[in-house]
Amino acid sequence: MSDLSQIVKAYDVRGTVPDQWDERAAEALGAAFTHLLNTTGEPGEQVVVGYDMRASSPGLAAAFAAGVRAEGRSVVEIGLASTDMLYYASGALGLPGAMFTASHNPARYNGIKMCRAGARPIGQDTGLAEIRDRAQALLDKGESAPAGQPAASAAQRDLRPEYAAHLRGLVDLSGIRPLKVVVDAGNGMGGHTVPSVLGDAVLPALPLEIVPLYFELDGSFPNHEANPLDPANLVDLQRAVVAHSADVGLAFDGDADRCFAVDERGEPISPSAITALVAARELAKHPGSTIIHGLITSRAVPEIVREHGGNPVVARVGHSFIKAEMARTNAVFGGEHSAHYYFRDFWFADTGMLAAMHLLAALGEQQRPLSELAAAYERYVASGEINSTVADQAAKVAEVRAAYPAAEVDTMDGLTLRFPDGSWFNLRASNTEPLLRLNVEAPTRERMAALRDEVLDRVRR
């Protein structure tokens, strides 16, 4: 019997298959999701469902769709998709949706990201808890869907051409200087979407020479984990950029909703720098607009937003929180340290592909190498995210807080401590894994390293 409390997280479903959940649980979740839609007045009679390249994804998605149909709604099956393609489908078709993916997690995991029509997020506070409880009640009764309900129909639809055309309409790359771009898809869904958007698989060719790495869809991740946030998973991309004398390297995570970049030297560009760069571009088009930034992005981000006439607003980490704040403030753009990038022109949803296109446009519209372009947005030294496993997360956070009584304290999302010299760190529990995550930033590399090591010592001892 699945214990859904173990897999329903703050803003998605995620757990190991089949020991934590299976197709019966997926069907119950599909029925519970649709019951929520029906009882809260969500318009329409369809739900769009997509899935990634994991071996368990097609079966779980089909079971979920059966649960949807049992509650009286039909299903639009878009098949293999990136998460941002699912959001495109939800926005363009005006339908609620469900994407089956565990993003960057190892092969034994799978999950669901659910949304209402227009890609509006569903998290614990906006319906996910109710979905969990109703699905659990069905499973506890030995059911996976309500009995006696009419079985609605399903239709299949390939939305890659429309998705690619929509993105190309938002960022015009046709007039940039020629660029050589190495793309590491990590055997994830970038191998499915990059040829359509940046290549010539469905639309006319752009002035881009794409050098593909690991475009073969394989949910066992035979080359490296599809988690570019871990520096170890960028090594192949860094080597290839240098070997091919490329202008830029792009790395997508498993469901291709996040994008990381390295410059022509193979050096990583921080997601905070990309956030600031894209924010400046969006503010040039929409002066005075609001820009959302995650709590853990560099303090350079709000500085640069203000310098370009924008209004920076901080938000909690996590896509449902960022999207809700985007909608509340009508923000034109939002970015997180984890390389999630959100756009008003994309239904306030996150799309790594669109962020990558902004980066390519910024690079291709001038003659400087990416290292020089990015330097204008890199003002401070950051540690990157460092994970630690501890027995008692809350107690450890309290211990660290007590060690710095004079620091400025912010508990918006985990524990953030700020110091008079401009340095700061954030320590928070992961929403999806049993970890404490540490991020440190300081004006100099020496100060960053000293503060990082000091906090890690307290966390891990």
Query: Which residues are part of the catalytic machinery?
Result: 103
Query: For residues 2 and 20, is the Cβ–Cβ distance under 8 A?
Result: yes
Mutual angle of helices 160-170 and 352-364, in 10-degree steps: 40
Q: Output the six-digit token pair for 276.
A: 């600031």
**Cα three-residue angle 43-45-50, rounded to 5 degrees:** 105
Those residues with Cβ within 8 angstroms of residue 59's Cβ, 6 or more apart along the chain or in another chain = 23
Query: For residues 8 and 37, is the Cβ–Cβ distance under 8 A?
Result: no
First to last CA, the chain: 37
CA 42 vs CA 48, 118, 346, 409: distances in Å: 14, 11, 20, 40
Question: Tokens 């401590």 identify what position?
Answer: 417
DSSP label of 379: -
Element (H, E) at 13: strand 13-16
CA 432 vs CA 6, 8, 259: distances in Å: 10, 9, 19
Q: Output the six-digit token pair for 84.
A: 């941002």
Q: How far apart are CA 229 and CA 246, in angstroms?
A: 21
Q: What are phi and psi of 74, to 5 degrees?
A: -85, 170
Q: How far apart are CA 411 and CA 77, in angstroms?
A: 41
Q: How far apart are CA 45 and CA 69, in angstroms?
A: 10
Q: Output the six-digit token pair for 228.
A: 């570019």
Q: How far apart are CA 1 and CA 31, in angstroms?
A: 17
Q: From 384, 401, 397, 402, select the one nearest 448 (Cα to Cα).
A: 384
Mutual angle of helices 57-70 and 23-39, in 10-degree steps: 40
Those residues with Cβ within 8 angstroms of residue 404's Cβ, 6 or more apart along the chain or in another chain = 417
Three state DSSP letters for 90-116: HHHHCCCEEEECCCCCCCCEEEEEEEE
Report the chain's C-alpha Rg in angstroms. 22
Query: For residues 296 and 317, is the Cβ–Cβ distance under 8 A?
Result: yes
